[in-house]
């Protein structure tokens, strides 16, 4: 379904971070209430091999990969927020909203896929990553899962060759990379972009009117939804 929706899709960047702490269950609940089509979030692993949702590798000055889940839970006293597990996130979101799951550590790909498929059918989520190895693995081992190649102005190198090799379903482009060259790449490859992180009202309107854009990811999903309704009705 995430690859067949005809209208543009709007994602909440780590939930709805202007209203609640990013990558928390509260932020995800808020994005659902804001009318987002999907939620984007980041997955990492704890020392005892539990999958957790957090953007940065560190929290409260400690590397999450070196901590057990119980130790990560205890960080709430210092950070002021609770780091959810992937499973808790899936339980909270299943049958309510689609997902964009960014894999931050390539070696967790198989475990992440296994858990995702326990709760979600493949048509209800997309897996994205900056790591070519993640996209390549999905292409070979799980071709039924939609995959998106992430890049920004520092990692948009050799895109045409990478696309040929990795065969992503979407290009996950930082909004600053979207230019005439990327439009040509989209035309040649037949792919569309999901553009992040689009927060300015004029930029939201521009990208939601762009032919080569399948959707956007925003820190302000409620604003993007409101603007898109106006775009559709013009």
Helix (H) or strand (E) holding 79: helix 76-79
Is there a contact between 130 and 103 (Cβ–Cβ < 8 Å)?
no
User: Which pair of tokens denotes residue 95?
Assistant: 């049958």
Q: What is the predicted pLDDT for the residue at 232?
A: 85
**pLDDT greater than 90 at residue 4:** no
Residues 6+ apart with CB under 8 A from 43: 51, 52, 53, 86, 101, 102, 103, 104, 105, 108, 112
**How do residues 148-196 score in pLDDT, each as one tens digit?**
999 999 999 999 999 999 999 999 999 999 999 999 999 999 999 999 9
Q: What ranges make up the beta strands (E) of the chain?
A: 9-13, 38-45, 51-53, 58-59, 62-63, 98-103, 125-129, 146-151, 170-174, 192-196, 213-218
Q: Which of 84, 76, 68, 67 is nearest to 26 (CA)?
A: 84
Q: What is the predicted pLDDT for the residue at 231?
A: 86
Is there a contact between 81 and 21 (Cβ–Cβ < 8 Å)?
yes
Fold of the domain spanning 9-233: TIM Barrel (3.20.20)
Percent of the chain with pLDDT over 70: 97
**How do residues 26-84 score in pLDDT, each as one tens digit?**
999 999 999 999 999 999 999 999 999 999 999 999 999 999 999 999 999 999 999 99
Q: What is the mean pLDDT of residues 79-105?
A: 98
Q: What is the predicted pLDDT for the residue at 5?
A: 61
Q: Where are the domains of the chain?
A: 9-233
């Amino acid at each position: 379904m995430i690859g067949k929706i005809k209208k543009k899709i709007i994602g909440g960047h780590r939930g709805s971070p202007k209203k609640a702490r990013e990558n928390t269950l509260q932020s995800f609940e808020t994005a659902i209430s804001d009318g987002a089509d999907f939620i984007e979030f980041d997955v990492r692993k704890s020392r005892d091999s539990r999958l957790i949702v957090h953007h940065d590798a560190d929290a409260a000055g400690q590397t999450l990969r070196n901590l057990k889940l119980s130790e990560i839970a205890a960080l709430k006293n210092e950070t002021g927020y609770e780091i959810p597990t992937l499973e808790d996130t899936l339980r909270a979101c299943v049958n309510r909203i689609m997902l964009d799951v960014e894999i931050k550590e390539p070696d967790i790909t198989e475990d992440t896929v296994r858990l995702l498929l326990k709760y979600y059918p493949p048509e209800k989520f997309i897996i994205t990553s900056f790591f070519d190895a993640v996209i390549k693995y999905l292409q070979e081992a799980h071709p039924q899962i939609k995959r998106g190649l992430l890049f920004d102005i520092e990692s948009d190198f050799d895109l045409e060759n990478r696309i040929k090799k990795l065969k992503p379903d979407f290009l996950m482009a930082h909004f600053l990379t979207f230019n005439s060259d990327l439009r040509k790449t989209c035309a040649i490859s037949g792919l569309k972009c999901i553009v992040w992180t689009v927060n300015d009202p004029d930029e939201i309107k521009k990208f939601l009117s762009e032919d080569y854009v399948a959707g956007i990811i925003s820190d302000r999903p409620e604003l993007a939804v409101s603007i898109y309704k106006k775009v559709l009705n013009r």
